[in-house]
Homo-oligomer: A and B are copies of this chain.
Amino acid sequence: MIKLYHAPLTRSIRVVWLLEELGIPYQLETRDYRPSPTPFAQPTPFGKLPALEDGETVMFESGAIVEYVLERYGQGRLAPRPGEPGRGTFLQWLHFAEATLMPPLVEIFRHTMLKPEAERIPAVVADGRARAAVTLNVVEQALRGRDYLLGEDFSAADVMMGYGMKMAEQFGLLHELPNLKAYVQRLNARPALQRAMGAK
């Protein structure tokens, strides 16, 4: 059975959420998140959260785990198959959700919550908010007239994006972005996300 190293509020929520959406059994190895200024400090394989063990496969990186689970157990659900229309857009948002959306949010987190107060730099937070605003507006426009990133159908790209959007909402960055606010509400209504948020 899949073993998933998990801590509440971390990116491992993405994987729990996906597994819940797909109805795949898994065993949670819940750990306390260790605040650290440098990465690879978590009490898991590789020092990262999430980490996954599945037979011979041991791996980290939430986006990679999401792809692995889809390929191995998705049976074509929650993603266009390679070669199908929308596959490129699916891959784009799947990567964007970590590679482009998260860095400014992480800088805000580091300089408002993670670092000791004396080391927090307001200019870094302002810079992160400016970058996040531009990035969030791109998704706001992409969601015009759509329920989900690919249109009517919820996909694993929404699982990847949802984590960052909930973080952006917590930081007060969605106030003037009605499509994103409605999107987060739509995601929050999904029972699989609710179960993932309560996973211990």
Query: Could you list which residues of chain A lie within 8 angstroms of chain B, going by C-beta atoms?
Result: 37-40, 46, 52, 54, 56-65, 67-68, 71-72, 82-83, 85, 87-89, 91-92, 94-96, 98-100, 102-103, 106-107, 119, 121, 123-124, 127, 130-131, 134-135, 138
Q: Is the CB of B38 within 8 A of A134?
A: yes
Shortest distance in angstroms between A60's beta carbon and chain B's nearest beta carbon? 6
Chosen A-B contacts, 7 in total, with CB atoms closer than 8 Å, are A37-B127, A39-B131, A54-B88, A57-B88, A64-B91, A107-B107, A121-B124
Q: Is the CB of A87 within 8 A of B61?
A: no
Q: Is the CB of B64 within 8 A of A96?
A: yes
Closest residue on chain B to residue A86 by CB atoms: B57
CB within 8 Å for A138 and B98 given contacts A68-B91, A88-B64, A91-B67: no
The 9 closest A-B pairs by CB, nearest first: A64-B91, A71-B82, A57-B88, A61-B95, A64-B95, A59-B88, A63-B95, A59-B92, A64-B92
Q: Which residues of B contact A87 (CB under 8 A)?
A: 57, 68, 71
Q: Which residues of B contact A46 (CB under 8 A)?
A: 138
- Bound-state CA distance A8–B82 (Å) is 29
Q: Is the CB of B40 within 8 A of A134?
A: yes
Shortest distance in angstroms between A158's beta carbon and chain B's nearest beta carbon? 15
Q: Is the CB of A37 within 8 A of B130?
A: yes
Q: Which residues of B contact A124 (CB under 8 A)?
A: 121, 124
Q: Which residues of B contact A64 (CB under 8 A)?
A: 88, 91-92, 94-96
